[in-house]
Structure formats: structure tokens, C-alpha cells
């Protein structure tokens, strides 16, 4: 029953009670009939007026209760709006305060859950993306061995490279398992250690050595003497180089060179990877680092890919305190430059 009807019922009950008493008083001649009429009339008028006054007094309470109920419904639907302007009655004002506190805490917890869910999803898509590179590399190296394209001496080199890629795959799948099975992201900060630029670049290029050989690609590496190492996260730097070299090879035709240059500007090391391929228009250059963005879908059907490589590289380089720049012109090629602080 609604509160308004409850008030009405209580006054109706009081009226019926008085009328019954008056009726029996007349019956046993305690009252005269005229007096009974007057008393009844006075009671009726008094109860009606009292009802309206009580109703007016209860109106703020009724409004507060309606507000609380509306906000509870909204909360159930995931809208974390606080309740404003409930001052009376005191008990409801306290309830509203508690409700607001609960809403605030719930909003915080939900934001936290969503953030860690987003982080987890990003990590899973990044790891799934990175697993592709060693798989492709292993496949092409095994194909080359099976097709007898590798001489006896080179075979050992290829097998070593396959072993390295397999180890990398196992490392990536462990990370993926951590995320999907234990539902926990590795909380520890990436370890900062000396990452030798030449060694890391050669390791990244080695992953593509079969493709480089099959496509007859000249690889030019030109590192200034000061370009030695950065104190950074080795795995992160690796992933950036892998992704940029993969793109340079993917978006330039066989036979064209890939140039890797390195220079140092005091406390920053600049590594640029240049290709002489299809290039990227100026307008597209502003979007290529976005998640899942791929330039002109029809053009890209030919190349395959998910549009994650540059996004991942950009995210990693940001955590390492650096940035990636692009210079490109359509039909002539692109240069991606990674700026990494020597000490992070």
C-alpha cells in the first residue's frame, strides 16, 4: 500500500471508531441525536483537514522516498549518480548520505575492475599479436630447410634461430597463460638493464633472415660509434624493433633495401628504420598509431595484419620514456624513428 493511502486509512479508521462510539452513545441514550450529528460532522471535517495537513507534512518524505527508489533503480542499471537535496526527514537524509557513499565506492570499484579488464584485454591482444612473428619466422625457416635452400653450414644457423624463436614463443605463451589462467597481470615493473642496440637489432633482423634472403634484400646498418646501449626493458625494445622491421619488409617490394641508422643526441638514442616501399600519405600518418587502424583496407588485404603493430610499439616506447616518429611519402617509402632515452 502507498504511504499516502496508509495515512488516509488511519484517518478513516479513527473516523469509523468515533462514529461507532457516537452510535452506541445515542443507542444507550448517553447523547441526544442532535449532539451526535454535530459531533459526527465536527469529526468528519476535523479528520479531512487533519488528513490534508498530514499529507502536506509528509510530502517531502514521499518525494525523498521516490528519489531514493529512482536512484536505486539507476544504480542497478550501472549509473552511479549521487542523490542530491534530501534534507528531511533526518533518517532519510542519513540514508541518502549512506547511499551516496555506497554509490561512490561502487563507482570506484567498477572503474577499477574495468581498468584492469581493459589492461588485460590489451595485454592479451598484444601478446597474441607478438606470437605471430616467431611462428611465421619458424615456418619460413623450416620451409627453407625442407626445400634444400640452405647449405650445410647455414643449417646450424637456421636451427639456432628456430631454437631462439621457439624459446621466445614459450616465453610469450607463459605470459599469455598468466593472463588467461591466473587472471592476473604481471605487476612488476619492466626490469631496466643495459640493452645493446647492435645485438638487439641483429636479433630482430635475424628473425626475418629467411624472408630477407628469399626476397634478396640488401640490409644496411649504420650505427654511430656512440650508439651503444640504452638502460631499458630489453623485451620492450625487442618488440619495437621486431614490429618496425616487420612493417618495413611487409610494405616494401622484394629487392628493395632496408636501411637501419642509429645516432646519439646526448641522452637520447635515435634508431631509424627506412624502407623504399608504398609509403603512407600525410593524412594517414596521423592515424597509423591508433589501435587496430590499417591504412586503406583494400590496399591492406594484400598484406594482411591486424593494425596492432604500431599501436603496441607506441605504447611500449611511451612506457620506456621515448617516442616514435614517422616520415613518409606515398610511393617512395617510409622512415620510422625510435627515440629512446639512454637512461630510463
The long-range contacts involving 320-328, CB below 8 angstroms and separated by at least 24 positions, are 320/190, 320/232, 320/233, 320/236, 320/237, 320/344, 322/268, 324/240, 324/244, 324/289, 326/280, 326/285, 326/288, 328/279, 328/280, 328/281, 328/285
Q: Measured from the CB atom, is 71 or 294 closer to Mg ion? A: 294
Q: Which of 144, 212, 280, 316 binds ligand ATP (CB under 6 A)?
A: 280
Work out whether 230 is an interface residue with ligand ATP (CB under 6 A).
no
Residues in a beta bridge with 139: none
- Cβ proximity to ligand ATP: between 141 and 252 the closer is 252
Q: Which does 129 bind (CB under 5 to 8 A by kind): Mg ion, ligand ATP, none?
A: ligand ATP
DSSP at 26: H
Q: Is 248 in the site for ligand ATP (CB under 6 A)?
A: yes
**How would you write 167-229 as a 3-class SS string?**
HHHHHHHHHHHHHHCCCCCCCCCCCCEEEEHHHHHHHHHHCCHHHHHHCCCCEEEEECCCCCE
Between CA 29 and CA 33, with CA 30 as vertex, the angle to 5 degrees is: 65
Distance, CA of 205 to CA of 229 (rounded, Å): 17
Q: Residue 64 binds which one of Mg ion, ligand ATP, none, with CB within 5 to 8 A depending on kind?
A: none
Quick one: cell of 219?
A: 640490409
The correct pick among 129, 168, 217, 239 for binding ligand ATP (CB under 6 A) is 129
CA-wise closest residue to 291 among 320, 262, 309, 311: 311
Find which of Mg ion, ligand ATP, none residue 236 binds, CB within 5 to 8 Å per kind. Answer: none
- Nearer to ligand ATP by C-beta: 227 or 248? 248
Distance CA 261, CA 259 (A): 6
**Comparison of 248 and 271: residue with beta carbon closer to ligand ATP:** 248
- Cβ atoms of 341 and 321 within 8 Å: the answer is yes
Q: Which does 245 bind (CB under 5 to 8 A by kind): Mg ion, ligand ATP, none?
A: none
* Residue (199 or 255) nearer to ligand ATP, CB: 255
CB of 119 vs ligand ATP, minimal distance in Å: 19
β-sheet bridge partners, residue 326:
336
Q: Among all residues, whose Cβ is closest to Mg ion?
A: 309
Among 309, 311, 317, 340, binds Mg ion (CB under 5 A): 309
Residues 229-268 that bind Mg ion (CB under 5 A): 247
Nearer to ligand ATP, 305 or 321 (CB): 305
- Among 242, 251, 272, 316, interactor with ligand ATP by CB under 6 A: 251
| 306 contact, one of ligand ATP, Mg ion, none, CB 5-8 Å limit per kind | ligand ATP
Q: Residue 272 half-sphere exposure, CB side, CA atoms within 13 Å?
A: 17
Of 247, 272, 316, 338, which lies in the binding site for ligand ATP, with binding defined by CB under 6 A?
247
Q: Which of ligand ATP, Mg ion, none sits in contact with 295, Cβ below 5 to 8 A by type?
A: ligand ATP
288 binds ligand ATP (CB under 6 A): yes
| Cα–Cα distance, 130 to 314 (Å, whole number) | 14
Residue where the block lists cell 590499417: 294
Q: How many of the other CB atoms lie within 10 Å of CB of 59?
A: 11
Q: Which one of Mg ion, ligand ATP, none is in contact with 232 (Cβ closer than 5 to 8 A by kind)?
A: none
Binding site for ligand ATP (CB under 6 A): 129, 247-248, 251, 275, 277-280, 288, 293-295, 300, 305-311, 334
Residues of the shown chain interacting with Mg ion in the complex, contacts defined by CB under 5 A = 247, 309
Amino acid at each position: 500500500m502507498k504511504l499516502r493511502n496508509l495515512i488516509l486509512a488511519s484517518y478513516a479508521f479513527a473516523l469509523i471508531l468515533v462514529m461507532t462510539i457516537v452510535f452506541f452513545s445515542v443507542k444507550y441514550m448517553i447523547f441526544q441525536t442532535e449532539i451526535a450529528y454535530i459531533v459526527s460532522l465536527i469529526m468528519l471535517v476535523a479528520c479531512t483537514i487533519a488528513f490534508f495537513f498530514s499529507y502536506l507534512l509528509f510530502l517531502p518524505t514521499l518525494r525523498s522516498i521516490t528519489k531514493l527508489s529512482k536512484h536505486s533503480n539507476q544504480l542497478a542499471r550501472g549509473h552511479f549518480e549521487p542523490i542530491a537535496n534530501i534534507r528531511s526527514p533526518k533518517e532519510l537524509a542519513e540514508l541518502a548520505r549512506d547511499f551516496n557513499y555506497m554509490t561512490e565506492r561502487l563507482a570506484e570499484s567498477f572503474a577499477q575492475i574495468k581498468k584492469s579488464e581493459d589492461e588485460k584485454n590489451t595485454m592479451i591482444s598484444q601478446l597474441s599479436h607478438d606470437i605471430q612473428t616467431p611462428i611465421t619466422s619458424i615456418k619460413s625457416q623450416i620451409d627453407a630447410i625442407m626445400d634444400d635452400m640452405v647449405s650445410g653450414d647455414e643449417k646450424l644457423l637456421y636451427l639456432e634461430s628456430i631454437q631462439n624463436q621457439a624459446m621466445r614463443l614459450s616465453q610469450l605463451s607463459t605470459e599469455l597463460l598468466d593472463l588467461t589462467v591466473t587472471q592476473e597481470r604481471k605487476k612488476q615493473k619492466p626490469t631496466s638493464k643495459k640493452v645493446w642496440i647492435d645485438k638487439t637489432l641483429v636479433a630482430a633482423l635475424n628473425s626475418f633472415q629467411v624472408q630477407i634472403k628469399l626476397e634478396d634484400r640488401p640490409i644496411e646498418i649504420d650505427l654511430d660509434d656512440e650508439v651503444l646501449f640504452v638502460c631499458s626493458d630489453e623485451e620492450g625494445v625487442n618488440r619495437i624493433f621486431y614490429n618496425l622491421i616487420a612493417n618495413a619488409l611487409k610494405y616494401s617490394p622484394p629487392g628493395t633495401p632496408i636501411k637501419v641508422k642509429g645516432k646519439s643526441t646526448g641522452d637520447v638514442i635515435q634508431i631509424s628504420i627506412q624502407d623504399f616501399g608504398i609509403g603512407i600519405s600525410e593524412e594517414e600518418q596521423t592515424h597509423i598509431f591508433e589501435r587496430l587502424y590499417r591504412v586503406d583496407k583494400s590496399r591492406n588485404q594484400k598484406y594482411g595484419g591486424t593494425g596492432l603493430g604500431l599501436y603496441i610499439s607506441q605504447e611500449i616506447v611511451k612506457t620506456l620514456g621515448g617516442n616514435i616518429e614517422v616520415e613518409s611519402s606515398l610511393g617512395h617509402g617510409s622512415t620510422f624513428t625510435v627515440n629512446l632515452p639512454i637512461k630510463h
